[in-house]
């Protein structure tokens, strides 16, 4: 048949070649479709895997930072929408203990340098990530409607019931203790003191009139018109009030943590902190 010159023979040869070419094309098309489906499937698996692996940054910050940090985080989430940020607030001493007990924290912001130094000594933070970010001031406050009107820290023994943070776990309490010891009034006033778990609790007690006076940071006192600042503690009467930040050793988000700390030092972040009364370190 192949050698035949008849039209029908030629026709049969042409048809056979045509069918062979069609089968080859169909086979190539099927292979291409299979590879395409496999690629889509792999992309889908990768997408689901990456979705499940979305970065989460866990931050622990001193309670006195909360108002400023909430505004700052709102801005940072716009800048880094691919990172989920969770934050917890408490006294720096309480947060330190949580870190020592293995709490899943990536970034710690402390209101006391010595707490961070203690963590560094025990190799619980990444030293290269540690930076000083802010300063604060200690003030004596009273309820806005108080009639006692103490003139300063020297009047604390006569002020009535006084609230301050626990010096063993609250940096503001430690600074308050240093001030009172420096002024030589601690022994007289100790029996009148009620300790708060953090500066936020101290501020609440004074604002509500449940105590006659309290010692908090100036940034806390500026948050409400229900308290009045009586006096600023002399700088030489206590340790420097410096806030510092560091990434916790073993963090799964070390890079993201360092990026966040760098943001705390940015002009935008510092402007937010300054708006709430914090001071530059330098």
Residue ranges per domain, the chain? Answer: 1-52, 56-134+241-275, 138-237
Least trusted range by pLDDT, from 2-16, 47-61, 106-120, 199-213: 2-16
The structure tokens 């402007």 sit at 271
DSSP, collapsed to helix, strand or coil, labels residue 124 as: coil
- Strands laid side by side in the 227-232 sheet: 193-196, 162-165, 213-217, 138-143, 227-232
| pLDDT classification of 3: cutoffs 50, 70, 90 | very low
Given a cut of 60, is residue 4 above it in pLDDT? no
Given a cut of 60, is residue 204 above it in pLDDT? yes
Task: Compute the CA torsion angle 95, 98, 103, 104 (nearest 10 deg).
Answer: 10
CATH fourth-level superfamily of 138-237: Periplasmic binding protein-like II (3.40.190.10)
CA distance 21 to 18: 5
CA distance 82 to 53: 11
Q: Which helix (H) or strand (E) holds 109?
A: strand 107-110
Look up residue 279 and give its two tokens. Answer: 């001071």
Given a cut of 90, is residue 138 above it in pLDDT? yes
What is the predicted pLDDT for the residue at 55? 83
Q: What percent of the chain has pLDDT over 90?
A: 77
Give me the residues paired with residue 89 across strands: 61
- Are 157 and 193 within 8 A, CB to CB? no
CATH number corresponding to 56-134+241-275 = 3.40.190.10
Given a cut of 80, is residue 35 above it in pLDDT? no
Is-same-fold flag (56-134+241-275; 138-237)?
yes
For the entire predicted model, the pTM comes to 0.77
- Strands laid side by side in the 131-135 sheet: 84-90, 56-62, 107-110, 242-247, 131-135
């Amino acid at each position: 048949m192949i050698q035949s010159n008849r039209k029908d023979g030629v026709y049969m040869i042409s048809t056979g070649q045509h069918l062979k070419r069609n089968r080859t094309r169909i086979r190539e098309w099927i292979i291409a479709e299979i590879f395409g489906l496999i690629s889509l499937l792999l992309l889908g698996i990768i997408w689901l895997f990456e979705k499940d692996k979305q970065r989460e940054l866990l931050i622990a910050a001193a309670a006195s930072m909360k108002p400023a940090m909430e505004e700052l985080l709102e801005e940072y989430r716009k800048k880094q929408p691919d990172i989920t940020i969770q934050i917890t607030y408490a006294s720096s001493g309480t947060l330190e203990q949580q870190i020592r007990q293995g709490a899943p924290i990536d970034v710690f912001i402390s209101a006391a340098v010595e707490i961070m130094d203690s963590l560094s000594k025990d190799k619980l933070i990444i030293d290269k990530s540690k930076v000083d970010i802010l300063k604060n001031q200690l003030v004596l406050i009273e309820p806005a409607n108080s009639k006692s009107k103490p003139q300063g820290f020297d009047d604390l023994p006569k002020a009535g019931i006084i609230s301050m943070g626990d010096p063993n776990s609250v940096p503001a309490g430690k600074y308050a203790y240093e001030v009172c010891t420096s002024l030589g009034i601690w022994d007289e006033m100790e029996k009148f003191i009620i300790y708060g778990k953090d500066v936020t609790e101290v501020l609440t007690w004074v604002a509500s009139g449940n105590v006659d006076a309290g010692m908090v940071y100036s940034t806390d006192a500026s948050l409400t018109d229900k308290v009045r600042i009586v006096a600023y503690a002399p700088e030489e009467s206590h340790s420097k009030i410096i806030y510092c930040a560091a990434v916790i050793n073993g963090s799964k988000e070390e890079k993201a943590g360092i990026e966040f700390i760098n943001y705390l030092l940015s002009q935008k972040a510092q402007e937010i902190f300054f708006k709430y009364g914090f001071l530059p370190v330098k």
